[in-house]
Structure 1
Amino acid sequence: MSLPSAAAQALAEFEVLQGWEARARLLIQWGERLEPLSEAEKTEANRVHGCESQVWLVAHAHGGTWHFRATSDARLLRGLLALLLVRVNGADSAQLAQLDVAGWFQALGLGRQLSPSRSNGLNAVLKRMAQLSAR
């Protein structure tokens, strides 16, 4: 699967940064770009279980591809979600199932900074995406 243009942009932005502080600042900026979810969308049915923080995920199929929206109550996690969404939006179910999330965050230079709980949370989000796209 080739990179969507927004994912290629993210990769270009992160590749030039040196050090965690610069990446963390950019990560928070990416999180601020997330399209907000309405209070009506922040339901238990849309909550992703397996995350330490609160995470909500909404999925829409369009022409055989998937488009997701998500948010979290944690600033860094919102940034990670934004980066995950630019990578997966527009993928079909088979592409979602084959996505290497760890590899994507390694490419962004964020792999080593993912704590086990954040990594588990992102995997829970990806698992939920796969469940929603399999319906």
Structure 2
Amino acid sequence: MANAAFEELVEDFEFLDDWEDRYRHVIDLGKAMDPLDEALRVPATKVDGCASQVWLHAQFDDGTLHFDGASDAMIVSGLIAVLRVLYNGLSPDEVVAVDARAEMGRLGLNDHLSAQRSNGLRAMIERIRELAAQAA
């Protein structure tokens, strides 16, 4: 149920032969994001359950999700960028319906993240799903 932008990302990852190339690409995606305004790095936007510092700021404009985020870890910033591609532009019901683990698996990420990173990714996905459920 991925959107067109995520399908493009999947295609990009299919051209990357090994995990190290994919890892670097995720980091590059994070570096390309605009920085999150310091005023939005507050306890209300902080995601618990991540080994690194993570903030997600979400809003629903015209019935669709738009979120930004930041982390003090480069790979986590990249994961935020991937989640933005996966979720931004979806309605709250669509956000809740996305099987994020399966979609991330299409990128070859599930098997190569440490247990701590996987837990953090799950925490970010849960936060996004909670925000969508509240907006529905």
TM over 0.5: yes
What TM-score, normalized to structure 2?
0.91
Normalised by the size of structure 1, how large is the TM-score?
A: 0.92
Alignment of 1:10-29 (within 5 A): 10-29=9-28
Residue deviations 1:78-117 (CA, integer Å, cap 9, x gap)? 1111111100001111111122121111101222112221
Cα distance between partner residues in 2 of 1:36 and 1:66: 18
Structure 2 gap segments, 5+ residues each:
none
C-alpha distance in structure 2 between counterparts of 1:66 and 1:125, whole Å: 14
Aligned position for 1:49:
48
How far 1:131 moved relative to its partner? Answer: 2.1
Partner SS, residue 112 of structure 1: coil
In the aligned structure 1, how far is the partner of 2:12 from the partner of 2:128? 26
Residue type of the alignment partner of 1:130: R
Deviating more after overlay: 52-61 vs 109-118: 109-118
Distance 2:125 2:86 in 1: 11
Alpha-carbon distance in 1 for matches of 2:82, 2:67: 12
Instruction: Find the counterpart in structure 2 of residue 126 from structure 1.
Output: 125
Match in the other structure for 1:100: 99
Give the root-mean-square deviation of aligned CA atoms: 1.3
Indicate the SS of the match to 1:113.
coil
1:44-65 alpha-carbon deviations (Å, 9 max, x no partner): 1110111111000001111111
- CA distance in structure 2 between the partners assigned to 1:6 and 1:67 by the alignment: 14
Counterpart AA for 2:28: Q
- Give structure 1 regions of 4+ aligned residues with deviation exceeding 6 angstroms: none
